Amino acid sequence: MRKAVWGLGRPAQQVRRTCARLTAIALAPLAAGCAYSTGILPVGPDTYTVSEQYTIARGGNSMAERTALTEANVFCEQRGRKFLPVNMTQPSAIAISPAGYSVTFRCLSPGDPELHRPRFESSPNLVIENRYR
């Protein structure tokens, strides 16, 4: 005769197997890691943006950056144009959340006068406005 657990009329071994399966299902996303992408989104004439997020298990910030920049380059190349980054951001993230990277870029014709070597400057994280003039 089998022993019932929790008053469910199920044998203890079957309950343990069910609990083990549910635990494995619940922990699988944490072990595998998650990734999220907005895909390429238009934001203006010849201007697009893409954002990527990866958990630390899948490479974190560096993988998000690599994926976003590669995706943007391929997008422009498929159209016979050149990739020109306009803005690249790496939002700060807390340790348990996915790390992200966003790039806004333009796809320009190879002879376009606006196609130049990008100059990157850090954006200030604090702006002080003087209103007493």
pTM listed for this prediction: 0.62
Domain-wise residue ranges, the chain: 1-31, 35-108
Residue ranges with strand state E in 14-98:
35-37, 41-44, 47-54, 82-89
> Which residues, 6+ apart, have CB-to-CB distance to 104 below 8 Å?
43, 47, 48, 49, 85, 86, 87, 88
- The predicted-structure confidence for 6-51, as pLDDT tens digits, reads as follows 545 556 666 666 666 655 555 555 545 577 788 899 998 889 999 9
